Amino acid sequence: PPTEGRPDVLVVGGGIGGLSTAFALAREGLRIRVLERAPEFGEVGAGLQIAPNCTRILDEYGLLDEAKELGVVPENMVMRDALDSRELIRLDLGDLERRYGFPYMVIHRSDLHAIFLRACRRAGVDLVTDRTVVDYENTAGGARITLADGGTEEAPLVIAADGLRSVARQKLVGDDVVSSDYVAYRAAVPIEQVRDNGIAEKDVTVYVGPRCHFVQYALRGGDMFNQVAVFQSPKALAGQEDWGTPDELDAAFEGTCETVGKGIPLMWRDRWWQMMDRDPIDTWVHGRVVLLGDAAHPPLQYMAQGAIMAIEDGWVLSRHVARLRAEDAAPSAVDWDAALAAYEAVRVEHCRRILTTARAWGELWHLDGTERLQRNAIMRSIDPAEYAFTDWVYGPTALFPDEEPPMFRPVPLASARIEEDEASASD
């Protein structure tokens, strides 16, 4: 394996973004070294939804069968109102697969991460743990990173895939993370524990409610059940530092329907995720240091596209590397500036759309009162078979800006016609 000597690319961060990108570039014959801060490679958390725009890439990488073995291909994606549990919209995921050619599936995060880790090992990626990168600078022939112990490493390209709290982003852009005042609780439990809770084992179900929502789906071949509970923290709104704590969880879901109510006591209470994103930015490429994944575009997770965008980033970059290399040239003879410009030209705009839509989606999901009823009416009126609202996300990942499909623009709330029985039921 090509691990000896100076790498062609240094990847900082061995999350799903860093590893998938390392693998994509190693497939092109490049020598890649990944530097990860943690003592071991791994992922915390539970389930991850991966849509056809991601399974298409996994298939190209030869990793889809492995993902399918470890994950679950659900039958439907169903959105329900969290208070009265009425169905709002149903996507038949079999139809979705026929439209896009690849499945919508769910997988344990650690399983997807492990798939990329194994693929990197097979491809000869140099995987190094216990390396905290504290600084970045451009050099004459590339870029240099500085480690916490004072050591330095150089390569023609440095990819910063160091996540939401990216050191590279801090150094190169200097913007702040944006708090949403929402917090996520997760749980993955044996399926036997939830069979009597009124769950739909074959579906991904999202219950949307006032200032909260709840997601459920089966994992690991159907043996486990994943739940995510998200709510607005009153302590966050009050400006308290320690917010989103377990005492707020139960109160946030009071008054929700039976299935949600039965799910809440199962949530892990020793760990929670305060939900942050960042405003979209236009520049990810700073000389030979480039931002990728959450470091470039951390979203709120309402579109379930965060890890997918990171995987797409690496795929797009690798396709431009393949395109911009002279035939018969050594694998490392890449026109990096052109490849990076092409990457930035297409990815910045796509991810900006996902980030801004995720914020809008979050607002829509969490409405209360009349607006909640208007939202429900609009959701019920959408014909999922029109695909206008999924094509721009689940279609093939664009390599060039002119391949990016038009963005779906939702109908304004005020245009909704609320059914009489619903209006009176909410009085």
Closest distance of CB 30 from ligand FAD, Å: 19
DSSP string of 11-24? EE--SHHHHHHHHH
* Cβ pair 105, 73 in contact under 8 A: yes
14 part of the interface to ligand FAD, by CB under 6 A: yes
306 binds ligand FAD (CB under 6 A): yes
Q: How far is the CB of 415 from ligand FAD (least distance, A)?
A: 30
Please report whether residue 273 would count as binding ligand FAD according to CB under 6 A: yes
From candidates 112, 161, 252, 416, binder to ligand FAD by CB under 6 A = 161
* Of residues 156 and 298, the one with the C-beta less far from ligand FAD: 298
Q: Is 301 in the site for ligand FAD (CB under 6 A)?
A: yes
Which of 185/336 has CB closer to ligand FAD? 185
Of 259, 239, 262, 242, whose CA–CA distance to 250 is shortest? Answer: 262
Beta partners for residue 303, in sequence order: none
Contact pick of 294, 379, 393, 395 for ligand FAD (by CB under 6 A): 294
Query: Binding-site residue total for ligand FAD (CB under 6 A)?
Result: 33
Tell me if residue 298 falls in helix, strand or coil: coil
Q: Least distance from C-beta 294 to ligand FAD, angstroms? A: 4
> What's the CA gap between 77 and 97, in Å, rounded?
12
Tokens of 113: 């991460």
The single residue of 61, 100, 104, 217 carrying the catalytic annotation is 217
172 touching ligand FAD, by CB under 6 A:
no
Rounded to whole angstroms, the Cα distance separating 269 from 225 reads 17
With tokens 């279609």, the residue in question is 395
Instruction: Establish whether 217 is a catalytic residue.
Output: yes
The C-alpha angle with vertex 73 and arms to 315 and 40, in degrees rounded to 5, equals 55
293 in contact with ligand FAD (CB under 6 A): yes
Residue 103 binding ligand FAD, by CB under 6 A: no
* 414 CB neighbour count, 10 Å cutoff: 7
Return the SS3 of 186.
Answer: strand
Nearest to 199 by CA among 178, 173, 222, 179: 222
48 binds ligand FAD (CB under 6 A): yes
Is 37 among the residues that bind ligand FAD (CB under 6 A)?
A: yes
Q: Taking the mean position of all CA atoms in its chain, how far away is CA 83?
A: 27
Comparing CA positions, the residue from 303, 320, 342 lying closest to residue 53 is: 303
Q: Does 115 bind ligand FAD (CB under 6 A)?
A: no
82 is a contact residue toward ligand FAD (CB under 6 A) = no
Q: Is 316 in the site for ligand FAD (CB under 6 A)?
A: no
Which residues bind to ligand FAD, rule: CB under 6 A? 12-18, 35-38, 48-49, 131-133, 161-164, 167, 184, 228, 273, 293-294, 301, 304-308, 310
Known catalytic residues are 217
